[in-house]
Structure 1
Amino acid sequence: MLDFINYPVSGIMWVWHKVFGALFGPSSGFAWALSIMFLVFTLRAILFKPFVKYVRSMKQMQEFAPQMQKLREKYGNDRQRLATEMQKLQAEHGFNPLGGCLPMLVQIPVFFGLTNVLQGFKAGATENFFFGADEVKSYLAAKLFGANFSSSLTATAETLAQYGTDRNTQIFVTIPIMIVASALTHLTSRHSVARQNPAAANQQTAIMNKLALYVFPLGVLVAGLFLPMGMLLYWLSNNLWTLMQQYVVYHRIDREEEEKKQAAISKRQNLAPKPGQKPVRKRPAADTTAKVVDGGVDGTEKPADKPKPAANGSAPAKKDSAQAEPGTVPGIIEDRSRGKKQSRKRR
């Protein structure tokens, strides 16, 4: 059913086994252990961008958590109105909660594909996807410090003897792997919890944080009693990659936010006046074009009339500016002369 996942996963592991088998030998336990670990590293590197998108989406969700909580308090009894307001808030800020969940859901089939490949190494198997019968026998016979990859701590003595190991050796190698895998699980959870927004904390969040900090690491220890050592190497390498990836991604996001913050501060400082400097007000430019004042009642301005040509076709007669009284504008001489005559008649 998951062959479209199983074959690529086994193919990546097959390539890494060829690489490390050339260095340590095809049947070396180090070659098989490193092939498992680098298989995990390769798959997680492919899913690096979806992880970054997931982290950004979770951060955005925490920023909007107080606003969503207010909507729940306001429209708690009206589910339809609450859903409408939630969608409106998400559309305004371009936030899609499913966009952050989908990248993490992609890891689920990858995990099942890896589980199927490791469980495919069993006695009597003629092939395991990309691996042939000889490579299956090589994996079953390989040992890491005397412990077998296909054995677990709870396996019977007969099963351990069949794989060429004993319980004490298996405990000596497997227990440290379990402890380190559990500790890395706790550290990755603590790193994520420390990034949470306190304003978005609620009772449900507190419960999930306790599960992630204490129950999940304890689950790794309990599961380690029943899982083969190959699966424990998967848990160890997966949690190790997650911890390093969180460190890189979180610091990159913090650096981007700090750069945006500094850019906004610099922009405000450039626009603001310097200390002791008065703000400069721009004055409108003066109109230097010549205008003729019409001596009408409203005192409006209009352009001077152009001289009309004479009836005989000769050039228009020019008005003698010398006849104008000193201090007067030529355009209004006639109006003032009429005013003087009318005042004399009244007298």
Structure 2
Amino acid sequence: MGFDHILASTPTPSAVTSGGGFDLFSTILWPLKWLVELILVSWHWLLTAMGMGPAEGITWVLSIVGLVVVVRAALIPLFVRQIKSQRKMMEIAPELRKIQDKYRGKKDQLSREAMSRETMALYKKHGTTPVSSCLPLLVQMPVFLALFYTLSDVSKHAKAGVGGVGALNAELTKQFYDAKLFGVAPLHTNMVDAINQGMTATVVILVILVVLMIASQFFTQLQIISKNLSPEAKTGQAYQMQKIMLYVLPFAFVFSGVFFPLGVVIYWFTSNLWTMAQQFIVIREMPTPGSDAAKQREERLARKGKALDSSGKVVPIEKYEAEQQRLFEAAEAAKAAAPKREQPMGKQRAKKQSQKKPGGDTGAPKSPDAPSKS
């Protein structure tokens, strides 16, 4: 099969319907489903060109892994932006608390509006918002939904003898439908169907994948909570919520393992592995200032004779010490040049000071011709 076969005729979005009527949700997802199919089929074409069987389960599994690599690699710039946004949110946390303390207990409309204005002005000044840290997840979710519906529709399309919305034509859809992981587990089958059909091997594979998904999600969150939080972050209510979510959130994958097709579960598990590795690198190389991970990095650098300068760049220890000396001298010079602040003086103290001065008589001046009292 040539690559030109991938870019075969594509149905228009208007053809995406549900029950013969207009389906707004499917229409919105149509461009993403088209893109997902293109990436998936492109990997399938590449692996097939390398000699792998087009209908083999491992070929389609590796195509799904390739899809994860493309999607997550495309999200790296957003992830870097997320990290920078989180750093800025931590930097402005003291200022944010000052604003909150300023309006604490004030429930009138004017106070609430003033607090909102000052908070937004602070976010604008530092170029960050709380939403920025959610961008990668928000962007990935529509892609995940597009993949979910693409793989969920394989059974329906294969039985109807049709293809998807783009590159996943009828022939490739039938190949995907017939593909089985390890030759026993169909990629289009979920756990409910596997249990109903007595497909024990498929159920076992799905259970193992779900357990691995839960473990990878738990370990990823544990890395953040145990190593990459500053002491200040561990004192707030948000930290307690994170600890609760550490044990609750991973079990949401139980639901996914039961109702999602095996192909989607493989995508999600592979994406979890990417997240876990990505977090490990970030925590090791770009830890949160003041966290245990930051201290460990400083220790590793010190053993190599290096340190972090004021801009966060790794430099030789000699250069770091010279910079610290310059900063100290500059601070001392600024302190010496600053005008000394005089303490406010009370009336009684001022009166005593004036009396101590030569000729400091607070009474009326005596006339030189005035007769002296005998």
Shift of 1:271: 6.5
Q: How many residues align?
A: 266
CA shift at 1:253, angstroms? 2.3
Q: After the TM superposition, which segments of 4 or more aligned residues of structure 1 sit over 6 Å from their partners?
A: none
Cα contact 2:308–2:320 (8 A) shared by 1: no
2:168 matches 1:131? yes
Structure 1 residue 157, shift from structure 2 partner: 6.1
Contact 2:151 2:261 in 1 (8 A): no
Q: CA deviation at 1:115?
A: 1.2
User: Displacement of 1:239 after TM fit?
Assistant: 0.3
TM-fit CA distance, 1:113:
1.4
The residue identity in structure 2 corresponding to 1:251 is R
- Is the contact made by 1:53 and 1:103 (CA closer than 8 Å) also made in structure 2? no
Q: 1:48 aligns with which of 69, 76, 80?
A: 76
TM-superposed CA distance for 1:87, in Å, is 2.8
Question: What's 2:322 paired with?
Answer: 266
Q: Counterpart in 2 of 1:149?
A: 187
Matches within 5 A, 1:85-234: 85-122=118-155, 123-125=158-160, 126-129=162-165, 130-145=167-182, 146-155=184-193, 160=197, 166-193=198-225, 194-200=227-233, 201-211=235-245, 213-234=246-267
Segment of structure 1 superposing worse, 263-272 or 110-119: 263-272
Does the 8 Å contact 2:192/2:259 carry over to 1?
yes
CA separation of 1:18 and 1:86: change in aligned 2, threshold 3 A: same
Q: Quick one: distance in 1 between partners of 2:117 and 2:153?
A: 49
Question: TM-score, normalising length from structure 2?
Answer: 0.65
How far apart, in 2, do the equivalents of 1:246 and 1:55 lie?
10
Q: Which residue of 2 aligns with 1:11?
A: 38
The answer to whether the Cα contact below 8 Å between 1:6 and 1:113 also exists between their aligned partners in 2 is yes
Q: Hey, what's the Cα distance between the residues in 2 that align with 1:91 and 1:133?
A: 51
In the alignment, the residues of structure 2 paired with residue 20 and residue 267 of structure 1 have an alpha-carbon distance, to the nearest angstrom, of 54
1:27 is paired with a residue whose SS is coil
1:51–1:104: 8 Å Cα contact kept in structure 2?
A: no
- Which amino acid letter does the alignment assign opposite residue 159 of structure 2? G
Q: Which residue of 2 aligns with 1:335?
A: none
Match of 1:287 in 2: none
User: Residue 5 of structure 1 contacts residue 109 of structure 1 at CA under 8 Å; is this kept in 2?
Assistant: yes
Distance 1:156 1:170 in 2: 6
Greater displacement, 78-87 / 141-150? 78-87
Segments of 5+ residues of structure 2 without an aligned counterpart are 1-26, 288-296, 299-306, 330-374
RMSD value over aligned CA atoms?
Answer: 2.5
In the alignment, which of 62, 69, 87 is matched to residue 97 of structure 2? 69
Letter of the aligned partner of 1:17 in structure 2?
Answer: H
Displacement of 1:35: 0.6
Report the equivalent of 1:235: 268
Aligned partner of 2:175: which letter? S
Distance in 2 between residues matched to 1:267 and 1:4, nearest whole Å: 53
Q: Residue 255 of structure 2 aligns to which amino acid in structure 1?
A: V
The one-letter code of the counterpart of 2:72 is R
Matched with 1:248 is 281
Contact 1:188 1:243 in 2 (8 A): yes
- Offset at residue 69 of structure 1 (A): 2.3
Counterpart AA for 1:214: Y
Please say which structure displays the higher CA radius of gyration.
1
**Equivalent of residue 25 in structure 1, options 53, 63, 79:** 53
- Contact kept? 1:62, 1:196, Cα under 8 Å: no
Deviation at 1:65, TM superposition (A): 2.3
* 1:141 to partner: Cα distance: 1.0
The secondary structure found in structure 1 opposite 2:55 is coil
User: Residue 24 of structure 1 aligns to a residue in which SS?
Assistant: coil
Q: Distance in 2 between matches of 1:31 and 1:92?
A: 50
Distance in 2 of aligned mates of 1:174 and 1:68: 46
CA distance in 1 between counterparts of 2:65 and 2:270 reads: 6
- 1:198 partner SS: coil
Alpha-carbon shift at residue 189 of structure 1 (Å) = 1.4
